[in-house]
Structure 1
Amino acid sequence: MQEDFLHYIYKYKKFETSALKTTNGQSITIKQLGQHNFNAGPDFFNAQMRIDNQLWAGNVEIHIKSSDWYVHHHEKDVAYDNVILHVVWEDDTEIFRKDNSKIPTLELKHYTNKQLLKNYTKLMQSKSWINCETDFTSVDDFLLNHWLDRLYIERLERKSEDIQQLLKNSNNDWEAVLFIMLAKSFGLKVNGESFLSLAKSFEFSIVRKLQNDVYNLEALFFGQANLLEEDYQDTYYIDLQKRYAFLKQKFSLTNQGVAALQFFRLRPPNFPTIRISQLANVYGQHTNLFSEVIHLKTKASFYKLFQIETSSFWKTHYTFSKASKKSRKQLAKGFVDLLLINTIIPIKFSYAKANGQSIEDDIFKLIKEIKLERNNITDAFLKLKPIEKTALSSQSLIQLKTEYCAKNKCLQCAIGNDLIVKNK
């Protein structure tokens, strides 16, 4: 038994209320349950109860055992002087206020449906990959799809908080925030943090000033990434070194905080050298990228926007030191999908929210155009039940697993709630 389960039972009236009595035999009529308090103090504020013939207004405190009142030292806290009802699972001692008046106690175990308790216990004692693994297949499709939609918005809301912090740090420059987020996405999982530190190592205003010459952008990015410190005798490399030396002096650049880039165990198309050149070309070709991102709505339009490849040198190289077979190194559609999932859609959502707009329909339409991401989490869920194979589903399932299943938050989950209240 956990206290949050008692909160759930009380808050949603999952108990028989027609003939409630205190442990002393006084009748209880609940007029108002009160407002759930998630901060310090009693669990529910501003409740109203008729106990026998007396109407009471005040707060409600909930514990597993009555004696927890003293374990938590509530008898010494003035915040609990106005508790009018102590709701417990087991009444093991009498509780008194500071003025020695007894606090009425409701023992919930006598009024709670046994099947409800059985269902809850089954979930909480499960040793499966997720608590509801054995019952997940029975979840109603409409309920599941509605919950996945809600989870996706919840995930965007969380990402929006991170974006707001970036915005604050960049003096409300949305274009700068987009650049930082794109840079991290271009680094993928292995080099994401390194690309992020690279993007934060200089003011975005410098990018604006250099956008008319992609080689200046490449010099800036490669130089800040500590990739221009060798002695390669190549005209392109030497040109980048000269350009970076000039930019470093002009803009007082420092790259001491930029994390080292990794090449190990990466496929050559994902080498940081290739991604840096592609990122430079994105900004070399689009001087108002943020405006374009905000106005575009379809996956096809974003594929067109990001029809980007590297500079010519990289058509025959993956690193500065060694030539390779000639090939065009364009941004693949799968990579653009990742940009949409991790950067474009979150920033579109955040921008609309900041401007008091609702674009959920557009967001849902766009995210559902993108294929489901395959990973350990999505694969495991798909083994349990057929689910729509879109990026909305994969993002929502990641949110479900990491924020609910992994934290045993079944009581806050629509699926968990549905399984708990079922009469089997």
Structure 2
Amino acid sequence: MTLPEDLFHFIWKYRLFQTTQLVTVSKKALTILDTGCHNRDAGPDFIAARLRIGETEWAGNIEIHVRASEWDIHKHDRDRAYNNVILHVVYEYDKIICREDGTFPETLVLKPLIPSYILSKYRELMSGMYWIPCEKLIHRVPDIHRSQWLSRLLIERLEQKVSAIYALLTQQRGSWEDTCYLWAARSFGFKVNTQAFEQLARILPQTILAKHKQDPQAIESLFFGQAGLLEETEFSDVYPRKLQQEYRYLRQLYSLIPMDASIWKFLRTRPSNFPSIRIAQFAALCLRSAHLFSELIDAHDISKIKSLFTELPVNPYWKRHYRFDGLSSEHGCQLGSESVNNLLINMVSGILFAYGKYIGKETYLYRAIMLLESLGVEKNAVLTRFSAIGIKASQAAESQALLQMKSFYCDKKRCLECGMGLQLIKYKE
């Protein structure tokens, strides 16, 4: 396996090598006073390092390569930015190199200084043999380190939602109500129909809904009509025929253009998650909460937030149907507890956290985190697999962190940037 330069950045940063009685290639004694700050931009790999070489103390930059010859391959010998490199750190010393000004930097060779277990663990993590790189090792990470890393991952996940919400906020010219409406619509797509729901919300602005907030049939016809689900030439059931008639009038009144119904995904979806059911539930939410953002922000306890998504005024038609003209046995048409849980996790926590950051008020940040700490774990294949290898989330805050780790670290083999990976590589046992 070819060892990447990033591994040696990691080893230098955390001093995972023999640090006493160091000697440079030119036989000068070396003492590392400060490894410097990791530089992820252009220029030397570590800046503002402090070393003692011989009897002289130096302050400057560190450049790291797998092989010394990479200095020339990367054209550092022609770049003045590397004239202030005070130490060239390499795994293998295969060539004498010099700076642009003709001087020779001192060089430290890491190969004989790195404990064998460091490279062995790294190779095991990178082997690709397991579901996640550390599947056979993760149980060795002490609980305190695991907890600290998961807490950091939770904030990272919330920050990603903040970025997405801010993008919507910019598009909506600073309107938090309209941003929340779009964010809620996306969430009602439950991954399978996320994009379709967002498109529906974009072509059905709240300004139109506000004019009909006292008329459930008008609201329902607007949602189903704009979703393209009323384009059938003829329905058998009375309910969709009434919606169709109402929509024809409203469509002409507001010059509306419906979506292509083929965008909605019904296949390989449970009936309770059919877009027709979700649209009915979302329409009911908009009927109940004309100012959803304000209600979420003003809700000071979790039970109040949950109540916004329960006992929605969904049309009774959906108790015996999953699609128009498709009679079925009687079933519930309300959001299930698992669906409500997912909306609170993926929609509400993000809105609270984003708003708190936007206005600089930590109360909403804490409220978002407390909400996640109070909710149960989502049910999905990733979390089931984590549980099978002994990593069981006890609350939504932990499950969200695990999902973040799987998508952005494990799947990309970013073990050197992962708190779990750090602990596993750093310690012999």
- Compute the TM-score of the two structures, normalised by the length of structure 2: 0.91
Structure 1 CA distance for aligned equivalents of residues 236 and 385 of structure 2: 51
State the 1:62 CA deviation: 0.7
Structure 1 partner of 2:334:
330
Instruction: Output aligned runs, 1:385-396, within 5 Å.
Output: 385=390, 387-396=392-401
3-state DSSP of counterpart to 2:88: strand
State the 1:238 CA deviation: 3.8
3-state DSSP of counterpart to 1:423: coil
Deviations 1:150-183 (A, max 9, x none): 2112111111111111111111211112211221
Q: Compute the RMSD of aligned alpha carbons.
A: 2.3
Structure 2 CA distance for aligned equivalents of residues 2 and 349 of structure 1: 37
Structure 1 partner of 2:252:
249
Is the Cα–Cα contact under 8 Å of residues 204 and 222 in structure 2 kept in the other structure? no
3-state DSSP of counterpart to 1:190: coil
Stretch moving more, 47-56 or 183-192: 47-56
Structure 1 CA distance for aligned equivalents of residues 124 and 355 of structure 2: 43
Is the Cα–Cα contact under 8 Å of residues 59 and 86 in structure 2 kept in the other structure? yes
Verify: 1:179 aligned to 2:181, yes or no: yes
Verify: 1:407 aligned to 2:416, yes or no: no
State the 1:309 CA deviation: 4.0
Instruction: Output aligned runs, 1:151-300, within 5 Å.
Output: 151-230=153-232, 231-232=234-235, 234-256=237-259, 260-300=263-303
Counterpart AA for 2:399: S
Is the Cα–Cα contact under 8 Å of residues 309 and 328 in structure 1 kept in the other structure? no
State the 1:259 CA deviation: 6.1
Structure 1 CA distance for aligned equivalents of residues 314 and 66 of structure 2: 63
Structure 1 partner of 2:343:
339
Instruction: Output aligned runs, 1:38-187, within 5 Å.
Output: 38-125=40-127, 127-187=129-189
The verdict on how the C-alpha distance between 1:128 and 1:295 changes in structure 2, with shifts beyond 3 A counting, is same
State the 1:334 CA deviation: 1.5
Structure 2 partner of 1:375:
380
Structure 2 CA distance for aligned equivalents of residues 329 and 22 of structure 1: 73
Stretch moving more, 368-377 or 232-241: 232-241
3-state DSSP of counterpart to 2:255: coil
Counterpart AA for 2:220: E
State the 1:373 CA deviation: 2.1
State the 1:207 CA deviation: 2.7
Structure 1 CA distance for aligned equivalents of residues 207 and 174 of structure 2: 13
3-state DSSP of counterpart to 1:63: strand
Deviations 1:370-404 (A, max 9, x none): 22223222122212225243222322211111211
Counterpart AA for 2:256: L
Identity of aligned residues (%): 39
Deviations 1:334-359 (A, max 9, x none): 11111111111111111111121224
State the 1:31 CA deviation: 3.8
Counterpart AA for 2:416: L
- What 5-or-longer segments of structure 2 have no aligned partner? none
Structure 1 CA distance for aligned equivalents of residues 330 and 70 of structure 2: 73
Deviations 1:274-293 (A, max 9, x none): 22121111111112211111
Is the Cα–Cα contact under 8 Å of residues 25 and 106 in structure 2 kept in the other structure? yes
3-state DSSP of counterpart to 1:366: helix
Counterpart AA for 2:392: I
The verdict on how the C-alpha distance between 1:326 and 1:388 changes in structure 2, with shifts beyond 3 A counting, is closer
State the 1:85 CA deviation: 1.5
Structure 2 CA distance for aligned equivalents of residues 360 and 234 of structure 1: 47
State the 1:76 CA deviation: 2.5
The verdict on how the C-alpha distance between 1:233 and 1:378 changes in structure 2, with shifts beyond 3 A counting, is closer
Counterpart AA for 1:145: S
3-state DSSP of counterpart to 1:248: helix
Structure 1 partner of 2:352:
348
Counterpart AA for 1:346: G
The verdict on how the C-alpha distance between 1:383 and 1:262 changes in structure 2, with shifts beyond 3 A counting, is closer
Is the Cα–Cα contact under 8 Å of residues 227 and 259 in structure 2 kept in the other structure? no
The verdict on how the C-alpha distance between 1:400 and 1:27 changes in structure 2, with shifts beyond 3 A counting, is same
Deviations 1:116-166 (A, max 9, x none): 333333333362222222222232222222222221121111111111111
3-state DSSP of counterpart to 1:343: helix
Stretch moving more, 147-156 or 335-344: 147-156
Structure 2 partner of 1:317:
321
3-state DSSP of counterpart to 1:61: strand
- What 5-or-longer segments of structure 1 have no aligned partner? none
Counterpart AA for 1:226: G
Deviations 1:85-120 (A, max 9, x none): 211111110111122211211112233333333333
The verdict on how the C-alpha distance between 1:38 and 1:259 changes in structure 2, with shifts beyond 3 A counting, is farther
State the 1:367 CA deviation: 1.7
Aligned residue pairs: how many? 424
Deviations 1:8-29 (A, max 9, x none): 1212222333322221112223
Structure 2 CA distance for aligned equivalents of residues 401 and 326 of structure 1: 39
Structure 1 CA distance for aligned equivalents of residues 262 and 368 of structure 2: 33
Is the Cα–Cα contact under 8 Å of residues 66 and 92 in structure 2 kept in the other structure? yes
